[in-house]
Structure formats: structure tokens, C-alpha cells
Structure 1
Amino acid sequence: MKVAMVIPPYRYGADPSQWITVPPQGYGGIQWAVATLMDGLLEAGREILLLGAPGSPMREGITVSAAVEKADIHAAIEEFAPDIVHDHSNTAALPPGGLRPTVSTHHLKGVPERRTNGIYLSRAQRTAAGSVSAPVIRLPVNPARYQFEEKKDDYLLFLGRVSAHKGVREAAVFAHAADVPLTVAGPAWEKDYLDALLADFPHTVRYIGEVGGRARTELIARARAQLVLSQPRGGPFGERWIEPGATVVSEAAASGTPVIASDNGCLPEIVPGVGIVLPVGRDITPRDAKRVLETLPTPQAVREVAVERWGHRTIACEYLAVYKRATSGEVWM
């Protein structure tokens, strides 16, 4: 089977010739998910055309296209002649009127532009999109890409976009209550939010910006716990935020780092077994915070659950089953 993998082409930094690659240089949840899925598909003997990420590392079995415009992407797909087109761009890079079987993984909140043959990351995301029967396939993780550490350092970690809907302030409140330092890593596009966070928690929060490569995997692996306290308010456009898939949960768990999460969106579906779920809006006392930290699962247990549930081979097999449905002519909404 030949698979054309379409992701949204995003610029990297100020250089107009640079694009976010697969895997990404730093921040990039979709890019990490696609990189890991491709690991599983390659191990299953599939051939892949990657579109929307020029400059990505070349590997046996993967053709990296330089195309970023829809017309060029369409031409590249037709030249490759895939059995299935797998869209991760919410149609942003998908040529209209494609003649080949297509499935679309929805990585965002709300209703996708293309609902036909959609795939969702969680039941919460699927419900918010108005679907009841489309497949739910979790975000994959390849343990070989992550560093496992049994012994942890004394810091908590927030990894992701530094924004209100991602719960960075709530993470700082928890860390302050626990009397444990919080390292915050990720892009901060809302300067006022970051400035207020640092001003209010000067002795708790250490902001280090975006991280990539080995520094990123080591940061995840050595954290005492990862905080994913997503909030339903303060979304990117001011709307209600429903956490769709949470790449950071599977990444942390594969590193043996337990997760402390809110009950927003997908999190109560995926965090049990690898961490603890706290209700949104719950006031955290020092006693509460310390009790949560004391009752987290062990690093080895967390990693075993992550590999069993979300290992790249398992998730690739689930996608291959859905590809087969689409190539046989099945249509779902």
C-alpha cells in the first residue's frame, strides 16, 4: 500500500525558505503525531509520500515532497499514485475534488471542514464535531524516540503553547502549592500572558522557550510529572476549548513521566493509568498537591501502559484497517 500523507505547511522561524519538518524542530503536535505514525507504517512495509513538510529528513520508504501549494500538492499526489490519501491539514493543504480514496484525521477542535471519512483523536473531540460513529484512533508514540528515566529530578514540567487554554497558570498554581519548581517550555505568542505568569510566580516558574531534539526528550524524561491542565476557556479565538488529543500525554508516558491533567476534553479518556485527573476549577491546597504527587503511578508502570495503548505499531495497524475500509469504497461521517 502506498500512502500520501498531507500535513499543513507551516513556516519555521523568520526564514521564508524554512518549514516545520516531520519530526518538528521544536513545537509541532501534528508533526510529531505524523512522524510517529509513519514509523509504524514503515515497519508494516508501507511506502509514504510526505507533503507539507519540505526539508524533512529522508528515510528509506519515505519520499519528501517540496510541494506546499495546493496545485503542486495535487500534482505530486497524482505522480505518486497512492492507494490512500491521509489528510492531517483539515483540508488546508488538501487539493479539492481528489479522485483517490481519502481519510482525514482531525487534530483541531470543532467541526472539521471535511467530515467524510473523518478520524478523531478522542470521543470528546468526535462528539464536539457532531459525529457518533466515525473511528477514534489515539495519538501514537514510538518509545524508541523517547528517553526513559526511572529516577526523576525535582521539577514539574509544562510542555506546549504558553496560552490560557493550555492551563499554564493552573500548572504554576499547582507547582506553587506543591512547593516544586515548574519548568515551562514552548512558544509564547501572547507576551502579556507570559509576563503576568512570570511576575506572579517568580520563584516557581522557569521559562526556557521552545526546545527540540535531545534536550526536549531529556526534559520530559527527567520531570517528576508533566502538567496538562487544559482549560475550557480562553481558546485561540476566544471560544470554548475542548482538548482534542494531547500529544504531550503519550510522550510523557512513554518517557516514564506520569501526568497530572484536568478533566477537559480527551484528558479523562486517556490519562487514567498514566496519571491523575483533576476537575477543572478545583482549588489546590498544598496538602492536595503533595497527596497527588505521592499517589502518581511509577515510571515503569506508566511506560508500559503507554506502549500497550499507543505504541506506533498498534496505532499504525488501526489506521491500516481504516485505510482498507476507505479503499474498499466505504464512506462514513
Structure 2
Amino acid sequence: MAVNQPEHVPVGPLRIAMVVPPWLPVPPPGYGGLEAVVAGLVDALVARGHAVTLFGAGDGHGTAAEFVSTGGLQFDRMGEALPELAHLAHVERLVDPADFDLVHDHTTIGPMVAGRRRLPTVATVHGNPVGEYGTALRTVDPDVGLIAISHAQRRANPGLPWVATVHNAMPLEDFPRKRVPGAGPVLWLARFSPDKGPEVAIAACRRAGLPLTLAGKCSEAAEHRYLDEVVRPLLGADVTLVVNADRETVLRLLLDARCLVMPVQWAEPFGMVMVEAMATGTPVVALRRGSVPELVRSGITGFVCDHADELAAALRAAVGLDPADCVAHVARRFSVQRLAADHEAVYRALLAGPVTAGAGRAVGAVRTG
């Protein structure tokens, strides 16, 4: 189904309908990388003069956008299809094509139903576009432009109708910064999942003779099983467990940590926690998976390791890296000002003409890395 293009491409401020999943508020109180990124994007777009309306769930938000709620937050049902479908159905009724120039969708299911809209739509793919998800994304209408969050993510399924690669970002001013390397334990900060390798982090820290803090999200049934059956039996006096930390606690842990360890076991599409760590001046030690080499400057803002047996030496060496280099790297590559400018370029390219699946238009080169 073709998107109805406006007769005239707006040259001034754009009217943007920003759609987020119904799981968490924007910005999130703790866990929620997607929501944190959208909060920064929304505020930066408003600062550039655009009119942004945020369509989400819950009673309120903390951004500069207008907010329209579709109902209560669905945190306890995170990842289920029906709550998100119902949320999107509400959004479709609430978005009047006369009031907006385009829709920017951040939900999982949204790209598959966006072809029915009477408005041009871009959709950011926040997950790994392979397996069942990749199969579903192949049904996306070719006039719905997909935005990748890393080149690694885009390479994982190059046949999708990608129109741009735009790295995530965050407001750097929101992060306290340390001036000297952290003296605390190594920090692992993720959801409790085999994809994130907490057991690999434990083994690496023990080889390095360093204490470890495991700070993880644990709300879904699979996460509880993994924590109880795999992670807890490995704990000892050298490992501190923190479950479902709030934002204040996360920032304190990042500031104190000697480094962040990211022994990811999958093709990580982005990994916002790495940017958050570097924003505080904390270097990142990670395995070379997915987007890791795009985010971390090995030897400058951390170390990128090819094998798990290299992690211990890298963890010990991380204390010698300069926190100022980490902060400068984030300011240069992952600012919300860059995020908003890149997305505005995507929006205007979309409005200038129909999106063609696989086309290498200029919008596809917005962020080359």
C-alpha cells in the first residue's frame, strides 16, 4: 500500500507523532534503554522547533512533548503481543492525519501494521532483526522506512527496507562524571539473560582477582528462572547482586566502577549501557559481538576482546584508561543534538518522496559510523 505523500514537503517545523511501547514511562525510572533514548530524542527535536506529540501509556511523562496516553502501563506484560497491539489500535484512533506530517514508531509490532496508515511512517528497529522477528519484519510495507540503530544490526538482515542507520544517543548533561578512574568493583549491568553473559563476567572477574557487582533487570519469568537456576549458584563473597536498580543506584554504580564488563553472547544491536558507562567516564570491556566495535574505541574508551579468556587481562588494564577520553567520545558520537539532527534528515528525506525497499538514498547514509 502506497503512503499518501503530502503535496508540499514542510520546510519549517515538522509535526511528529512519536509512538513508544506501552511498557514503561518516558523517560524510565530505571531499566529502559529504548525509553531513555526516545526521551532524549523528543526533547532535542522540540529544542529544534518541531512539534512532537508522544503517544505512550501511563499517567504522565517527563519530556518536552505533548503527551497522549492510551491507557495504563503494561510493565507486567512486557513483550506480549496483545497489549502492544491494543496500544497501537488506540494510537491509530488518536492520530489524526490532519494534525501530523509523519509518524515515528518505536514499537516491536508497529512496523508490521504501519502500512495501513495514511501518514508517512519511519520505524526504529530496536531488536535483533533475525529469526522470527526478522521473518515478521520482511512483511513490512516497502513504503515504511526502517531505521537501524547500528551497522551490525543492519548487516544482520540487509534485505529489509532500511532507510538509515542512526546510532542511539543520550543527554550527556544528565550524567555525573568522574575525573579519576573508579576504585570500585567491575560492574555488569544488563537484564538477566544468557545473551548478556553474567556467568562469563563472574568467571572473568575471578580469573582477574577482581570483585564484581551484578546489577540486573529481573521482571519476566524467563529472567527469574535464569537468575535462580544459573546465576545464584555461582555467587560468592566476591560478587554483589543488585536486582532491578533504580536510576540513582545505576548512576552511583557506574561512577564507582573500575569498568563495565559486557561479555555479550549474541549480536547486540546497540547496547545503550555501554554509552551510559562511557558518559560517566567508566571504560567498557566487552566481547566483539554485534555493535560493540562501533561503540567502544578499543584502547581508548575500553577494550574489545575477541575471546572470553582475554577479558581478565582487559579488566585489570581498564583502570589505566582516562575517564575524560570516555566522556569526550560520547560527546562527539552520541549526543542528543546529533541524534535529533540525523532523525530530522531522515524525516525530510521520507517526506521528499516515497521510500523504496533497499534503496540506497541519501537518507541511508545519515550515520556511516
Query: Any conservation in 1 of the 2:70–2:87 contact (CA below 8 Å)?
Result: no
User: 1:119 Cα deviation (Å)?
Assistant: 0.6
1:251 to 276, 279, 287: 276
Q: State the AA in 2 paired with 1:135.
A: A
Other-structure match for 2:176: 147
Task: Indicate the percent of aligned positions where both proteins have the same amino acid.
Answer: 29
Give the ranges of 4+ consecutive aligned residues of structure 1 lying more than 6 Å apart after TM superposition. Answer: none
**Are the structure 2 counterparts of residues 228 and 290 from structure 1 closer, same or farther at C-alpha, using a change threshold of 3 Å?**
closer
CA contact 2:263–2:308 (8 Å) conserved in 1: no
> What is the CA–CA distance in structure 1 between the aligned matches of 2:341 and 2:25, rounded to whole Å?
24
SS in structure 1 at match of 2:104? strand
Flag structure 1 segments of 5+ consecutive residues without an equivalent: 11-19, 233-241
Could you say if the C-alpha distance between residues 285 and 47 of structure 1 is closer, same or farther in structure 2, counting changes exceeding 3 Å?
closer
Q: Secondary structure at the match of 1:148?
A: coil
What residue number does 2:303 align with? 276
Q: Does 2:132 match 1:123?
A: no
The 1:74–1:285 alpha-carbon spacing in structure 2 relative to 1, beyond 3 Å, is closer
2:170 and 2:69 map into 1 onto residues whose CA distance is 24
Assess if the C-alpha contact under 8 Å between 1:53 and 1:65 holds in 2.
Answer: yes
Matches within 5 A, 1:1-333: 1-10=14-23, 20-66=24-70, 69-78=87-96, 81-92=99-110, 97-110=116-129, 111=134, 112=137, 114=140, 116-131=144-159, 134-151=163-180, 152-188=182-218, 189-195=222-228, 196-232=230-266, 242-272=267-297, 273-279=300-306, 281-284=307-310, 288-289=313-314, 291-295=316-320, 297-333=321-357
Cα distance change, pair 21–169 in 1 and its aligned pair in 2 (3 A): same
CA distance in 1, matches of 2:349, 2:155: 22
Cα separation, 2, equivalents of 1:250 and 1:229: 15
How many residues of Structure 1 are paired with residues of Structure 2 in the alignment? 312
Aligned counterparts of 1:104 and 1:81: Cα–Cα separation in 2: 19
1:274/1:306 contact within 8 Å kept: no
**Distance in 2, Cα, partners of 1:167 & 1:180:** 17
Where 2:213 maps in the other structure, the secondary structure is strand
Equivalent-residue separation in structure 1 for 2:56 and 2:115 (angstroms): 16
Provide the alpha-carbon RMSD of the alignment: 2.3
Deviations 1:18-65 (A, max 9, x none): xx1011122112111111211221221222111123233254443243
Q: Which runs of 5+ in 2 are unaligned?
A: 1-13, 72-85, 358-369
Shift, 1:147, TM fit: 1.5
The code of the aligned residue for 2:105 comes to D
Q: Cα distance, 1:264 vs. partner?
A: 0.7
- Find the aligned partners of 1:259 and 1:206 in 2 and give their Cα distance: 19
TM-score normalised according to structure 1 size:
0.86
Aligned in 2, Cα 1:156/1:76: closer, same or farther, shift over 3 Å?
same
Matches of 1:59 and 1:154, distance apart in 2? 33
CA contact (8 A) 1:4 1:85 kept: yes
Q: How far apart are residue 289 of structure 1 and its match?
A: 4.2
Could you tell me whether the CA contact under 8 Å between 1:158 and 1:226 is conserved in 2?
A: yes
Could you say which structure has the higher helix fraction? 2
Cα separation, 2, equivalents of 1:268 and 1:231: 14
